[in-house]
A and B are shown apart, each in its own frame.
Chain A
Amino acid sequence: MQQTNLTINGQEHALDADPRTTLLDALRNHIGLTGSKKGCDHGQCGACTVIVNGRRINSCLTLACMHDGDEITTVEGLGQPGNLSPLQSAFVAHDGYQCGYCTPGQICSATAMLQEAKDGWPSNVSDDLAKGQKLTDEEISERMSGNICRCAAYPNIVDAIREVAEGAEA
């Protein structure tokens, strides 16, 4: 067993678990935060996306014990029913989901992605690596391509993210 201290959504958790436990399984099976989803368990779908120390990662491909002292934000920490984050509200308004299973991962991913864009990170579709990028639809799509939605709500997901990105700019 491995002792690990995690700060999740601002709350401290002392985890005592098999070192094989992934961060995703720790959240879901040990801590009771089932918002982060398991879609493939191999980093191939993005449903498990959480934000660790400000960065989005696949929680299925990292061990919980590697995150001692880390700050973790899951979808539950972004907002709650009645107190939705701007992205959560936009996903509801734009129907940025259907079955909803990939949705927490999409929203965590988009939340951190907007910060990456703000920090001037380029993407594979950026024409110019050096300059800051305007978040075009193509940029949003490329940056969100690590989150698969089999219901294929992609056009609505892009609408929702664009709306929030533009709102943040204004």
Chain B
Amino acid sequence: MKPFTYARAADTPEAVREASGPSHDFIAGGTNLLDLMKLEVMAPDKLVDINRLDLKQISETEDGGLRIGALVTNSDCAADDRIRRDYPVLSRAILAGASGQLRNKATTGGNLCQRTRCYYFYDTAMPCNKREPGSGCQAIGGATRLHAIFGASDQCIATYPGDMAVAMSALDASVEIEGKDGASRTVPVRDFHRLPGDRPDKDNVLEDGELITAVTLPAPTGGRQSYRKVRDRASYAFALVSVAADIGMEDGKISHAALAFGGVAHKPWHKPELDALLTGKEPSDALFAEAADLLLAEAQGQGGNNFKILLLRRTLRAVLREATQMGETA
């Protein structure tokens, strides 16, 4: 771990001010940042500790949604009565991730910034365009079990590894961001993470010194929500693929459909055309097959992860059957 200056901020303006520098990072839970700093995959000159900021509440918004402070821990978020009741997909996604200990430290804002688990990104002996732009991508042609089937580039095939953001994508949540001089902006979760393109070093749209202050959830749709995570171990393992769903039914037809997918792309994968295809239709295996075809039309395996294409097809079908109460699959 490279030496750094440590500063503790008392409020958001101070935090943003303290962090205005190219190699300055905020630290909240630290569960991913310190992991990477120990390996010198990340090596900031300055850490701004934001744990004393007043961003730990979950409050109701005027339009019937919830505003989750950036420092609300994963544990508190998953256990919140309102979230358990109205946004179970979010509780479920969080509880499917990491361990009890990590969820007690990991925060809402920090978790959105979780970096990839690509083996080559984590190993400083290996070239990696995400870690060291221009050095090359050793994952391509290597061990690709964890890697993307959607939206990869010839520079990076990494995946976003988290669960929480996948649920937030399905819920169409928004990220509140505060920047220099009190400037603030709101970015839909669906647009928060980037595809790697030719800048795989940039995971998301945050600019230097910008701080996530909250995530807001729109009013619940009343749909049936679920999160299904597929992984090698029964627990404490990253998703091979995951599906977050919020599906409403009315008069035997799908009245609302929002689906997001984890473990398959550099960001929680959301395809608006897929939601549109399902909406207004009567659930059937034929419809679900059509949906899977649409979703997977642009899927591209890397060798070691080719199985994700079939796995996602099967998992999507099972989730849709369950959400529309067509009964068990397979």
Whether chain A touches chain B in the assembled complex (some CB pair under 8 Å)? yes
A: residues with CB less than 8 A from B are 2, 18-20, 22, 41-43, 46, 49, 55-58, 61-63, 65-66, 68, 109, 112-113, 116, 119-124, 126, 129-130, 141-143, 145-148
Contact A22 B34 (CB under 8 A): yes
**Bound complex: CA of A122 vs CA of B76, how far in Å?**
11
Known contacts A49-B101, A56-B100, A122-B95; decide if A145 and B34 are in contact (CB<8 Å).
no
Known contacts A20-B3, A62-B34, A145-B236; decide if A43 and B79 are in contact (CB<8 Å).
no
Q: Which residues of A contact B91 (CB under 8 A)?
A: 122, 129
At the interface, yes or no: B314 with Cβ under 8 Å from chain A? Answer: no
At the interface, yes or no: B49 with Cβ under 8 Å from chain A? Answer: yes
At the interface, yes or no: B104 with Cβ under 8 Å from chain A? Answer: yes
Known contacts A42-B38, A122-B84; decide if A146 and B79 are in contact (CB<8 Å).
no
Interface 0/1 of B183-221, CB less than 8 Å to A? 000000000000000000000000000000000000000
Count of chain B residues with a beta carbon within 8 Å of a chain A beta carbon: 37
Contact B31 A58 (CB under 8 A): yes
At the interface, yes or no: B24 with Cβ under 8 Å from chain A? Answer: no
Set A20, A41, A62: member contacting B105, Cβ < 8 A: A62
Contact A66 B95 (CB under 8 A): no
8 contacts across the A-B interface (CB closer than 8 A): A46-B99, A56-B104, A63-B34, A116-B100, A121-B79, A122-B91, A130-B85, A145-B234
Contact B92 A109 (CB under 8 A): no
Closest CB pairs A-B (n = 4): A146-B99, A145-B235, A19-B6, A124-B95
B: residues with CB less than 8 A from A are 1, 3-6, 8, 27, 29-31, 34-35, 38, 47, 49, 51, 75, 78-79, 81, 84-85, 88, 91-92, 95-96, 98-102, 104-105, 234-236
Contact B102 A58 (CB under 8 A): yes
Contact B4 A19 (CB under 8 A): yes
Contact B78 A122 (CB under 8 A): yes
Q: Determine which residue in A41, A112, A121, A123 has the highest number of CB atoms from chain B within 10 A of its CB, and name it.
A: A121
Set B78, B81, B101: member contacting A43, Cβ < 8 A: B101
Contact A56 B38 (CB under 8 A): no
Chain A residue with minimal CB distance to B2? A20
**Bound complex: CA of A2 vs CA of B1, how far in Å?**
16
Known contacts A42-B38, A55-B75, A129-B92; decide if A146 and B84 are in contact (CB<8 Å).
no
Contact B30 A56 (CB under 8 A): no
**Bound complex: CA of A113 vs CA of B75, how far in Å?**
12
